[in-house]
Amino acid sequence: MKKIVVLVSGQGSNLQALIDACQQGRIAAEIVAVFSNKAQAYGLQRAEAAGIAAHALDAKAFADRVAFDAALADAIDRYQPDLVVLAGYMRILSPQFVQRYAGRMLNIHPSLLPKYPGLHTHRQAIDNGDSEHGTSVHFVTEQLDGGPVILQAKVPIFPGDEEDEVVERVQTQEHTIYPLVVNWFAEGRLAMRDNAAWLDGERLPEQGHAAD
């Protein structure tokens, strides 16, 4: 069975969705450890409650981002993971870290990439009058939120929507599609080649496979 390490910075709702999917047999893999850059991250408590090793590393204890990422990678590698999953991990990764896990690191981003990379995606979508928003699962590359998209899910934005309503809609989709994509990887169906995502031997289009 393949082994997964998850990185979190906060509440860890996507982590919980992955834990649940593993326990229910919807992901053919085991989460062997969870790491956070914040000792108070609730995601660590979620891991402990599920009997998963939980670790926090304090970035302030390291000289710079490269040093922190090197220590984090060494700690991750003790678990020999097949896949590293970012689930609300809010630090920008060093090129060295990204290269170390090239082709076996996934992220979920709350927008329909390439639209709205970075932060505050829901507010941007509302302020710009968008009628739809969504979430994207992608391979991680050195370009922030710019790796090959694997799967997207769209949600509507209705006139008068508050931000928390849009967030809830997006997160509901995230909790569905992230376990699905992680399982594709665990089953050996998903790969990154030539800076593109490939599923079942077919190159996916630029915005991945849309799950409407």
pLDDT along the chain (212 residues), means of 10: 98 99 98 98 99 97 97 99 98 97 98 96 97 98 96 97 97 98 98 97 89 55
Query: Looking at residue 209, what is its pLDDT?
Result: 82
DSSP characters for 168-196? HHHHHHHHHHHHHHHHHHHTT-EEEETTE
Query: Looking at residue 211, what is its pLDDT?
Result: 58
Residue 91 marked in a binding site: yes
Domain ranges of the chain: 1-101, 110-138+147-212
Q: What CATH code is assigned to 1-101?
A: 3.40.50.170
Phi-psi label, residue 125: left if phi above 0, alpha if psi -120 to 50, beta otherwise: alpha
Q: Is 109 designated active site?
A: yes
Domains 1-101 and 110-138+147-212 share a fold: yes
Q: What CATH code is assigned to 110-138+147-212?
A: 3.40.50.170
Residue 64 has phi, psi (to 5 degrees) of -160, 180
- The whole-model pTM stands at 0.96
Length of the chain, in residues: 212
Residue 90 marked in a binding site: yes
Query: Looking at residue 90, what is its pLDDT?
Result: 95
Query: Looking at residue 210, what is its pLDDT?
Result: 57
Query: Is residue 128 classed as helix, strand or coil in its secondary structure?
Result: coil
Residue 65 marked in a binding site: yes
Among residues 109, 133, 138, 175, which one is catalytic?
A: 109
